[in-house]
Amino acid sequence: MPDIIQPRVLKGFRDFLPRDEIARQNIESILARTIRSFGFVPIDTPVLEYAEILLGKGGGETDKQVYRFKDHGDRDVAMRYDLTVSFARYMAAHENEIPLPFRRFHLGKVWRGENTQRGRYREFKQCDFDIVGVDALNADIEIILLIKSCFEHLGAGEITIEISQRRIFNRFLERLECGGQAPEVLRTVDKLGKIGEEGVRECLEEFLPAQKACEIIDYTKMEGNYGETLRKIEEAAGGPDASTERMAEIGKQLDDLGIVCVRLNPSITRGLDYYTDIVYETLLDDLPGIGSVCSGGRYNNLASLYTKTELPGVGASIGIDRLAAALEEIGKLDSAAAAGPQIAILMLDDGLNVHYQRIAGRLREYGLDVEIMLEKKRLSAQFKTAERKGIPLAIICGEDEKARGTVNLRDLRTRLSYENLTLEASAEKALKLLGGGE
């Protein structure tokens, strides 16, 4: 007999107990349903890819975080660290099979070997949705409507979608004569939420004169409303052009649609450098401190590393695990849906197993989730097991009830019993009790 191996998991990785996994799957299925209702279709890609594919675009910081190794065939391979790079490769590989514009979504795990401080994990699930093959502002708006619809269906309470425009920011930086430092500036401004205005000012002053740092910080501030903010940044950028007109039209259509949760916030930049136009972040109004729960933007050329075909696109990404934690924190995780079986059939006599299986089969036809206690034990022990598992209802049926063709139904929450019901009546009563309990 060998020694016991310690059943530990790697740092930054987690097991999901049923309650948490059900809650997460519930979120995933609401998202998938909502996203599909907008005409998006799911795809999947391999978790492992050639390292050259995944790292071709990723810069220094990312490389260090990627799980990368040699496989049995001595190939240089890596586990995906986001869903975007694989999607770019996918579009290049299948460009002749996919009619454009293409609305795809992808729900899957990604891995990053990053520092596990501050509740960050090395394995997490993302849900990405994108519309590629079209540069229309209608698509930019649709992403906003879809984000809004997702959080409505999740019952996440009020949200604020903050948008901004990279092109206007870049034009402003060129006018300030620091266009060459645009990526650094964008990355620095992106830290506003974390290090505050003074922190950003200090960082900017490390590579820019104080006056320019000051103007950049002024640029990033919101005015009274969308229109006023747009006018300010338009002026800072040197007047109207196609990108300011596009933002004006987006604002107008959102008004016409009665969407009031969108703010033009010039400080939103998204640190990543592949966005070229509009960018999005999403805040839960009940928990703005955790930062954006759904972020994205428009890029002018998704798959340029793998194909010469130009593929403009726009999309956003939701981190499922962070979202689940946030919803739990604000008490919006649907605990009724995050439940196990609804009915336990108690085992009064091993000889009745066939009868219990028949009852279970009938109850399942009513859409009920039913488990049978598999071993005869004292009733009190069986009640206790059912309660520990959070099962709200129990069916009790001995030889007498079997002979009469009835069962007894007990609500373990209220301790009320309903006796001598036909199977049909017990199913209907159960549905009523479960519906009323929510």
Interactions with its own copies, residue window 307-336 (CB under 8 A) = 307-308
* Residue closer to its own copies, measured from CB, 147 or 204: 147
Report the site for its own copies in 46-65 (rule: CB under 8 A).
Answer: 46-50, 52-53, 56, 64
| Contacts to its own copies from residues 199-238, by CB under 8 A | none
Closest CB 325 distance from its own copies, rounded Å: 15
Question: Of 26 and 188, which CB lies nearer to its own copies in the complex structure?
Answer: 26
- Measure the CA–CA gap between 279 and 268, rounded to whole angstroms: 7
42 touching its own copies, by CB under 8 A:
yes
CA 273 centroid distance within chain: 22
In the complex with its own copies, which residue's Cβ is closer, 176 or 302?
Answer: 302
Tell which residue, 288, 33, 290, has the closest CA to residue 154. 33
What is the closest distance, in whole angstroms, from the C-beta atom of residue 218 to its own copies in the complex?
Answer: 33
Region of 342-350, 399-407, 415-423, 425-433 interacting with its own copies (CB under 8 A): 342-350
Minimum distance of its own copies from residue 167's CB (angstroms): 20
Residue listed under structure tokens 């919006």 = 332
Between 53 and 272, whose beta carbon lies closer to its own copies? 53
- According to the binding rule CB under 8 A, does residue 117 interact with its own copies? no
- What are residue 123's DSSP bridge partners? 111
Q: Return d(Cα 198, Cα 287) in angstroms, integer.
A: 23
Give the x/- contact pattern for its own copies in 73-92, rule: CB under 8 A.
x-x-x-----------xx-x
Judge residue 253's burial from the number of C-beta atoms within 10 Å of its C-beta, 0-12 exposed, 13-18 middle, 19 or more buried. Answer: middle
Amino acid, res. 378: R
| Identity of the residue, 24 or 166, whose beta carbon is nearer to its own copies in the bound complex | 24
Residue corresponding to tokens 């959102």: 254
Which region, judged by CB under 8 A, interacts with its own copies, from 109-117, 220-228, 260-268, 393-401? 109-117
Beta-ladder partners of 224: none
* Stretch of 34-42, 208-216, 294-302, 430-438 lying at the interface with its own copies (CB under 8 A): 34-42
- Give the number of residues written for the chain: 438
Which residues from 89-108 bind its own copies, rule CB under 8 A? 89-90, 92-94, 97-99, 101, 103-104
Torsions phi, psi for 132 (to 5 deg): -115, 155
Tell me which residues in 377-406 interact with its own copies (CB under 8 A). 385, 388-389
Binding its own copies by CB under 8 A: which of 370, 394, 407, 433? 370
Judge whether 160 and 282 are in contact, CB under 8 Å: yes
Residue 410 burial (C-beta neighbours within 10 Å; 0-12, 13-18, 19+): buried
Rank residues 149 and 406 by Cβ distance to its own copies and give the closer one: 149
Among 22, 44, 163, residue whose Cα is nearest residue 109:
44
Distance of CA 330 to the CA centre of its chain: 16
Q: How far is the CB of 169 from its own copies (least distance, A)?
A: 25
Binding to its own copies (CB under 8 A): which residues in 350-369?
350, 353-354, 357-358, 360-361, 364, 367-369
DSSP letters spanning 238-257: TS--HHHHHHHHHHHHHHHT
Angle at 326 between CA 321 and CA 330, to 5 degrees: 150
Among 58, 62, 63, 67, binds its own copies (CB under 8 A): 67
The least distance separating its own copies from the CB of residue 73, rounded to whole angstroms, comes to 8
Q: Which token pair is 4?
A: 């016991």
- Of the two residues 15 and 177, which places its CB atom closer to its own copies in the complex? 15
Q: What six digits make up the tokens of 255? A: 């008004």
Give the footprint of its own copies on residues 247-266 (CB under 8 A). 253, 256-257
Site for its own copies in 149-208 (CB under 8 A): 149
How many amino acids of this chain bind its own copies (CB under 8 A)? 102
Whole-angstrom Cα distance, residue 426 to residue 409?
Answer: 7
Q: How far apart are CA 438 and CA 434, in angstroms?
A: 7
Q: Which residue number, 42 or 238, has a Cβ lying nearer to its own copies?
A: 42
Q: Which residue has the tokens 């708006």?
A: 141
What HEC string does 126-146 produce?
Answer: EEEEEEECCCCHHHHHHHHHH
Q: Which residue type occupies 421?
A: L
25 or 420: CB nearest its own copies: 25
Rounded least distance, CB 106 to its own copies, Å: 9
* Cβ neighbours around 258 below 10 Å, total: 6
Of 67-75, 173-181, 269-277, 328-336, which segment contacts its own copies by CB under 8 A?
Answer: 67-75
CB of 199 to its own copies, least distance (A): 28
Residues 125-144 interacting with its own copies (rule: CB under 8 A): 131, 134, 136, 138-139, 141-142
Query: Rounded CA gap, 297 and 131, in Å?
Result: 11
